Amino acid sequence: MKKFFKPTQEWQHLLLENPLTLLAIGLFILILFTALFGPLLVPFDPLESNTANALQPPSAEYWFGTDQLGRDIFSRVIVGTRLDLAIALAAVLLAAGLGTTLGLYAGFYGGHLERWIGRGTDIIMAFPLFVLAMAIVAALGNTVANVVYASAIINLPFYIRLIRSESAVVKSAGFIEAARLCGNANPRLIWAQVFPNVLPPLVVQMSLNMGWAMLNAASLSFIGLGIRPPTPEWGIMVADGAQYIVSGQWWVAVFPGLALTLVVLCFNLLGDSLRDIIDPRRRT
């Protein structure tokens, strides 16, 4: 008789094998807490300027220093968490929702539908993705909503391709045939039988995608698209700090940049760990 691990033992094993997972989970809780309650806890008003106090280095009072208008960088970094996270989350949810639907139908029905959806994804992928996002925001108008749409569009092909190939495999499985023989119609087969089976890779893809979507949103605001100053947002704050780097005032750009790096790192680590747990074959 083969000995099986109890589920708790397996979790222990996975956590011990990769201590980074614990770190990522801890970071994730911290980020979530900051995004939810940060604005209530910050020591200063992130928009309140005080030019007499401009460009002060980090100190006991201003932990991350002050920027060119004398605003407290620590408060701005904390308050900015929610906005960047919300943009990335909205973009990922939109891309995942639409991409999963299109991918499921393309994989399940095949034929013309699959061909046309495939062509659509090919067209998006024919552009360098960040350049396409720039063009979309430039064309639709310089608003936060349009940054979300642009990020969603450039992420769409990855979901469509992943879910299409997964659902094309699942649709020929025995249990689908059985469910069909029980009298289930196609849409019900897709959503009640195929969809639950593509969820694991979908969740992994979404968590890996969050980090990338955050980088994307911050990069767009860094070049002046989407979010406008004086909104506390990490990309804009790094852009503000860029001109002071050459004169040695590093803190203006470094703290928001570090915050962004940390959050992206957290999502990537979480995505890797999730993949190890959900789909051990794809470990690299």
| Residue 178 binds another protein (CB under 8 A) | no
CB of 19 to another protein, least distance (A): 13
- DSSP structure class, residue 53: G
CA–CA dist 234, 78 (Å, integer): 10
CB 151 within 8 A of CB 217: yes
| Residue 284 binds another protein (CB under 8 A) | yes
**Which long-range contacts (C-beta less than 8 Å, at least 24 apart) are formed by 250-258?**
251/57, 251/58, 251/64, 251/65, 251/73, 252/55, 252/65, 252/67, 252/68, 252/73, 255/64, 255/65, 255/73, 255/74, 255/77, 256/73, 256/76, 256/77, 256/80
Q: Residue 98 or 179: which CB sits closer to another protein?
A: 98
Site map (CB under 8 A) of another protein, residues 184-223, x = contact: ---------------------------x---x--xx--xx
CB of 63 to another protein, least distance (A): 19
Total residues at interface with another protein (CB under 8 A): 49
- From the list 136, 144, 133, the residue with the least C-alpha distance to 85 is 144
Q: Which one of residues 55, 113, 254, 277 is an interface residue with another protein (CB under 8 A)?
A: 254
| Residue 248 binds another protein (CB under 8 A) | yes
Classify each residue of 53-79 as buried b or exposed e, where b means 16 or more C-beta atoms within 10 Å of its C-beta: eebbebeeebbbbbbebbbbbbbbbbb
Residues within window 117-156 making contact with another protein, judged by CB under 8 A: 119, 122-123, 125-136, 138-141
What is the phi/psi pair of residue 72, to 5°? -75, 120
Q: Residue 108 or 251: which CB sits closer to another protein?
A: 251
Site map (CB under 8 A) of another protein, residues 262-281, x = contact: --xx--xx--x---------
Q: Which one of residues 42, 225, 236, 274 is an interface residue with another protein (CB under 8 A)?
A: 225
Q: Which one of residues 43, 224, 229, 230 is an interface residue with another protein (CB under 8 A)?
A: 224
Q: Cα angle vertex 281, ends 276, 284, to 5°?
A: 65
Q: Residue 194 or 264: which CB sits closer to another protein?
A: 264
Residue in the block written with tokens 């209530």:
40
Q: Which one of residues 102, 202, 253, 270 is an interface residue with another protein (CB under 8 A)?
A: 253
- From the list 127, 141, 36, the residue with the least C-alpha distance to 89 is 36
CB of 16 to another protein, least distance (A): 16
CB of 236 to another protein, least distance (A): 11
In this structure, is the dihedral angle defined by the CA atoms of residues 196, 28, 148 and 132, taken in order, positive or negative?
negative
Q: Interface with another protein by CB under 8 A: which residues?
A: 119, 122-123, 125-136, 138-141, 211, 215, 218-219, 222-225, 235, 238-239, 241-242, 245-248, 250, 253-254, 257-258, 260-261, 264-265, 268-269, 272, 284
